[in-house]
Structures are given as C-alpha cells and as structure tokens.
Structure 1
Amino acid sequence: MKLDVTDRILLNRLQVEIPLVTQPWRVVAEELGIQQEEVLQRLESLKNQGVIRRIGGVFNPAGLGYTGRLYAMQVAEDRFYTTAAVVNSYKGVTHNYRRRNWLNMWFTLTARTEEERRAMLEPIREAAGNTQLYEFPAEQVFKLKLFLNMEGKPAATNTNFVQEKNNDSRFIREQSKIDTLDLLIIRELQGDLPLLTEPYHEVARRTGCRVEEVILRLQRLQAGGALKRVGVILKHRKVGFSANGLFVCVLPEEKINEAGQRLASFEEVSHCYKRQSYPEWPYNVYAMIHGATEAEVQQIVEGFIREKSIESYDILFSTEELKKTSFSI
C-alpha cells in the first residue's frame, strides 16, 4: 500500500485522538498545515483503499459495566473452523486468532455477568470437543494502547503529543454512570464517525440533542474512563504490520512490575499484562508486539530477554485472523 508522507502523518495523528470539538478536522488540518477539505478527502480515500478499519469511538468495557477476558484452547483441525464459527457468532467476542502453538485458538470475550459469560463459553467448549478452555484474566495492566507508527522512527507528528496521549495504562474496573442519552451517543460512536466538516452535529441530530451536549458527554465519558478516545483504527496488515506476536514469559513475582513497565515502553508493544498462569502453562507476563516481519518481533524479544535474563518464554505468532472488531454494546 503506497502512502505519501502526509497520509502517514495524518494517520499517526488520528490514531492518537480525534479532537472533541465541533470542527475536529479543521483543528487537525491546522496542526498539519493543510486544508480541512484535504483531510476529509484523504480519509475518504484511505477508507476506500482499506487502510482504515474504522473511524469512531474506542470504549473501555469495564467503564460500561462489562468484563473482558482472554481465552485459549487446543482445537483439533477437523473441528477448527466450525469451532471458530461458534466463537465468532457471539457479539462479546471481539478478537479471535489462530496462533502458532499447541494452544492454537485465542479469543477475547466480554460479558456483563458471569452467567452471561458461561452461557457463551459452554457452547464454545462443546463445539471444540469439550477440550480444556484456559481463562487468562488480567491481574495487572502495564499498557493498553495500540499505536502503529506510520512514519518510521521516531514519529515526526508532534512527538510529545503522541507520547503523552499514548501513555495511558489506566485499568478502569468501575462502571461509569451512564444514562439513556449516553447510550445513544455511545452506539453512534461505535460505528463510523461521518466524514463531514462537523461530524458531531450529525451525531447530535441522530440522538436528538444539541452538539454541545454530545461533546460534553463524550468529554465526561472520557474523563471517567468509559471512552478511551475517538480515533482512527487501522488494518494492521494493510499498512505493513504483518507480524503479530504474543510474547509470553515466566517471571518471579518481585520482577514482574519492573519487567512489565519495561515492555510497555516499547513502541511496538500495544498490550502488556500480568495474567493468571497454570501448571502446564506457567507464563505470567504477556505482551502483544507488532512488526513488519517476524524477525523484527523476534529481535525485540531477544533484546528484552537478554536484558532481563529470562529463560522461559515463547512467541505465539498469529497465522490467521478469525475475527477482529471493536467492543460494542
């Protein structure tokens, strides 16, 4: 995919945040030294080319009363795709990948209650032939922010702004107070933000309120942690990030915090957690690493394990994207 310098700068800027103002594209255009019309034209073209997956709100499930967890299981090849179809049929499943490991199917599932969660997990387990289903709840979050640097290293786009906005590892566990109008606005932002000069005006029209009310409520949801940001979500492989490696390692309890923070400092790491381990799966630190090639991801891992003297680790590369969508209610 051939992107010019302005495309790359624009995508970096909008991955971080689309401003919560009545004319966000004008603000971005002024920052980049181009015209608002050019911003809109470029975004339209990038969407048509399949570079952009979605332009809209990125919400925190916990802030809306949901709990997300990571699951993995070993699925026999003759059951693999029928099991994947069952997994993918649930709205609560946002990501599902085949990974190069004996645990070959990994998915995230978000639910409001444990009863709701069990009602989804039981058919999944049955479809997989009643195999062991491993649940990996997050015990500590070090980083939860995907940023695919489109400009190389370092990013030229207002670097301080990018680093400041991308350094959000808050782990919101409590539900924000939301009312019916909030829910209407959230549902609008879970789709695509209109590529209009005043996009929040269209959201206001659809939800039956004033644009000032929409922006105020979005700001409040963001301050409370229910809304992470309004921004651009890219298609990894389409923009050159073809290698998606889940790095897992074993660390003693007293070293986890320092190691987690170190992993979180890598630009290529989008997610980093301490997670539950099992006797047959002893790994307790997880990091999602993105690169153009598997060799790039391996190089990052090799440097980290040398630095921290880690002996037990693995990299689970995704070999097939079975489902990928944003959390929605």
Structure 2
Amino acid sequence: MDITDRKLLNLIQSPFPMVDQPFQKLGEEVGISEQEVLDRLTELKRTNVLRQISAIFDTRRLGFKTTLVAMAYEPKQLHKAAMEINKHPGVSHNYAREGSYYNLWFTLAVPPEHDLEATAAYMSLKTGAIEQRIMPTKRFFKIGVNFDMVKKKGSSFNFSPDNVKSSEDKAASDKEAAESWNKAVPITEAEKDAIRGMQEDLELIPRPYDSIAQQLGMSTDELFALAKDFQ
C-alpha cells in the first residue's frame, strides 16, 4: 500500500459520502480520479485489506439482543465448529484462542422474538462444544474504532453524545445515553428493507446507491433521506 491507499482507507471509515457519486467525492479529497479510486479499492479488496463497505447499525437500537459467547472444543474440532458457527447471520468477530479452555469466542445478536440463551445452547449442541458460556451485554462503553492508516494508530469513540458540553449538561446527557443505549426504536417495514439494503457490500461502481434504491422501489434521494434519519 502506498500513501494514497492509506488516505483512502482513512476516508472510507467514517463518514462515508452519501452522494450520487461517492467515489468521485473520495477522489477529489485525495487528488485522484474516480476510476483510480475504484481501481485502488478493488485491489484492496482482492488482497483482503478491505473486507467490505457498508453501513453499520446499532443492533440494540433495532431491538436485537447481543452477547459475547465463549465455547470450548477439542482442538481437532475447532476449525469445523468455527465454520459452522460462522453460518449464523447474527455472528461476528469470531476468534480462536488456541491453548485456552474456551478456545472459540464470538459475538452473537438475535432478533427480539428469539431467545439469546436458547440460540447459544443450540449452536453449542449442534457444533459439539464441550461447554459454552454467554456474557450478555450489560453496558456499552465503546461503539466504534477508526484506524489512522497514515499515522498507523487507532482511535475510539464512546456512546457519550457530546464531549464539549458544560459539565452539568454533559452529566445529564451521559445519564440519558447510559439509560437509553439499548432501548429499541420503532422502525417501519420500509425502513427494515432499507437497513438490509444498506448493510450489503457497496458495489464498486460510479453510482452504487442507484441500484440499492431501485431494489427498494424508491429514489436515490429518498434513500439518502432515510440514511440521514438513521444517523
């Protein structure tokens, strides 16, 4: 990777441009053409530096329940079990910890109508785990991390909505955030469809949002308006 690749990786982490031609916008900021942006991102994906470009939603605000799950497997079963666990749509951040009793750790999210403990127990049984332990999220302290690919360091941000308020206002808003971070907000069926569409890997084409909007039966401007409301 050269410095231009690193600058691009910084820019696409957040906030990603919600405009008709987002890759042209990125190119203007870096000083290269739209096509070069597309070519560079394609290569970064080919080499597994970049996994995907998509919207990230707060599962708790959508009514999902989340937990960290630790499972213990015989070493020879670990890889096969991990591949099976990965098939579940609510699984992310699945890591092996070889040498530990609990040697597979992953996060699990399930929709409101599903039981978190029952889901984890079923997965444990299906994959032949020796033992499993769930650690449901009780309080959230950090909701994101950005990696500065130019300076080669990371920075995180937490759920506090504002870091520049007076101490009294900040204390009140922190209390409100702490009490409401896992409260679901009502969403319509159309919004659910939009969320599904925006979670898909963004196509590396000049106007990627057009096809998403078309699949949802709305205009691109309507899609942008929904995305803004979600933020």
Letter of the 1:213 partner, please give it.
E
Secondary structure of residue in 1 paired with 2:61:
helix
Letter of the 2:61 partner, please give it.
G
Letter of the 1:200 partner, please give it.
Y
Q: After TM superposition, list the pairs within 5 Å mapping 1:164-175 onto structure 2.
A: 167-169=157-159, 172-175=181-184
What stretches of structure 2 of length at least 5 have no aligned partner? 161-177
Matched, 1:140 2:130: no
Instruction: Count the aligned residue pairs.
Output: 211
What stretches of structure 1 of length at least 5 have no aligned partner? 156-162, 223-329
Q: Which protein, 1 or 2, shows the higher relative CO under an 8 Å CA cutoff with sep ≥ 6?
A: 1
Structure 1 pair 67–154 and aligned structure 2 pair: CA distance change class (3 A): closer
Q: After TM superposition, list the pairs within 5 Å mapping 1:90-239 onto structure 2.
A: 90-100=88-98, 101-113=100-112, 115-127=114-126, 131-153=130-152, 167-169=157-159, 172-222=181-231
TM-score by length of 2: 0.79
- Percent identity of equivalent pairs: 31
Matched, 1:22 2:20: yes
8 Å CA contact 2:66–2:116 kept in 1: the answer is no
Equivalents in 2 of 1:192, 1:133: separation in Å? 32
Matched, 1:9 2:7: yes
Deviations 1:241-271 (A, max 9, x none): xxxxxxxxxxxxxxxxxxxxxxxxxxxxxxx
Q: After TM superposition, list the pairs within 5 Å mapping 1:37-52 onto structure 2.
A: 37-52=35-50
Structure 1 pair 102–23 and aligned structure 2 pair: CA distance change class (3 A): same
How far did 1:115 drift?
A: 4.4
Equivalents in 2 of 1:83, 1:48: separation in Å? 27
Matched, 1:84 2:82: yes
Equivalents in 1 of 2:50, 2:224: separation in Å? 24
8 Å CA contact 1:90–1:120 kept in 2: the answer is no
Equivalents in 1 of 2:137, 2:54: separation in Å? 26
Secondary structure of residue in 1 paired with 2:115:
helix
Letter of the 1:197 partner, please give it.
P
8 Å CA contact 1:82–1:127 kept in 2: the answer is no
Secondary structure of residue in 2 paired with 1:59:
coil
Secondary structure of residue in 2 paired with 1:52:
coil
8 Å CA contact 1:96–1:108 kept in 2: the answer is yes
Deviations 1:79-122 (A, max 9, x none): 43454344333222223211142221111111124743244222
How far did 1:28 drift?
A: 2.0
Letter of the 1:137 partner, please give it.
P
Deviations 1:105-144 (A, max 9, x none): 1111111247432442222333565644222223332222
Residue 254 of structure 1 is matched in structure 2 by: none
